[in-house]
Amino acid sequence: MGLRRQLHKHRPRVKPHVAARGRSPNRYEGHGSYLLAVLHSTEGWNYDGTADLRGIVSFFGRSSTEASSQVCTDDDGLSARTVSDDDTAWHCAGFNDVSLGIEQIGFTKQRRWSRKEMKETARWLAQWSHEYGIPLRRGIVRGGTVVQSGVVTHKQLGVAGGGHTDPGSGYPVRRVIRWAKLYRALRYRQRRRHDNHRGRR
Ligand SMILES: [Zn+2]
């Protein structure tokens, strides 16, 4: 069965589910014009339930960590929120103020990523595309400059982004972007249906 038909059959959840919430002090108020969504891995283990997400909330909650991201996803298909989309998180050095950051519980070295976690990440990409116009395509960055807006890995940002290598070569970027496009399409459709109903009253 194709992805699109699968999505229709199971009436999927299209919005991310925030199951753990904190407010990281590692942020600047406000932000620039969002051009990128940046994919990261936490370099930590997934645990059943929200223990992993609560761990991230507490890690980013300490000012000594000197890092943060807007959200984090796990392989239960749940999320943590640690910095508001209205503020700048500290996740990719020179690109912080033009990007939104997604941490994902897992390791750069891992070869497989769980479907639930990838779908939850895709829901954030769909939401941010909807709200901020970040295109659902691979972003391109060269020499510290955004050449094409879109979705990037932390590694793609190179030295200007802090010189990291996450989320690793086993990470399925294309598949996640494909899921995100479907979620975005479903969100539009659900909203349109809602508006139609309202119009008839
Ligand atoms: Zn990273």
Q: Say what the pLDDT of residue 172 is.
A: 98
Q: How far is residue 97's CA from residue 103's CA, in Å, rounded to a whole number?
A: 16
12: confidence class by pLDDT, cuts 50, 70, 90: confident
Residue 4 pLDDT more than 70?
A: no
- What does the H/E/C string look like for 123-177? HHHHHHHHHHCCCCCECEEECCEEEECEEEECHHHCHHHCCCCCCCCCCCHHHHH
Q: Are 23 and 82 in contact (CB under 8 A)?
A: yes
Vertex 110: Cα angle to 156 and 85 (nearest 5): 50
Which residues have C-beta within 8 Å of that of residue 28, sequence separation ≥ 6?
Answer: 87, 88, 90, 96, 97
| Domains present along the chain, CATH in parentheses | 3-194 (3.40.80.10)
Quote the ligand 1 centre to 105 CA distance (angstroms). Answer: 11
pLDDT at 28: 98
Alpha-carbon distance of 52 to 26, in angstroms, equals 19
Q: What is the pLDDT of residues 148-192, one digit of tens each?
A: 999 999 999 999 999 999 999 999 999 999 999 999 999 877 777
How many Å lie between the centroid of ligand 1 and the Cα of residue 9?
35
Q: Please give the distance, rounded to the nearest whole angstrom, from the Cα atom of residue 115 to the centre of ligand 1.
A: 20
- Torsion of Cα atoms, 49 then 129 then 43 then 59, to 10°: -70
Residue 200 has pLDDT above 60, yes or no: no
Q: Is pLDDT of 120 > 90? A: yes
pLDDT digits (tens, 9 = 90+) for 34-88: 999 999 999 999 999 999 999 999 999 999 999 999 999 999 999 999 999 999 9
196 pLDDT exceeds 80? no
Full-model pTM: 0.92
Alpha helices in the chain (DSSP H): 3-10, 51-60, 115-132, 173-200
179 versus 198: the higher-pLDDT residue is 179
pLDDT value at residue 201: 42
Whole-number Å distance between alpha carbons of 15 and 60: 23
Q: Positive or negative, the Cα torsion across 40, 109, 42, 47? A: positive
Is the peptide bond prior to 167 cis by the omega test (within 30 degrees of 0)?
yes
CA of 167 to the centre of ligand 1 (A): 7
Rounded-to-integer distance, Cα 104 and Cα 39, Å: 8
User: Measured in angstroms, how far is the CA atom of residue 154 from the centroid of ligand 1?
Assistant: 5
Q: What's the rounded mean pLDDT across residues 21-30?
A: 98
Question: Mean of the per-residue pLDDT values for the chain?
Answer: 93
Q: How far is the CA of 146 from the centre of ligand 1 (A)?
A: 17
How many A from CA of 131 to the centre of ligand 1?
23
Report how far ligand 1's centroid is from the alpha carbon of 41 (Å).
6
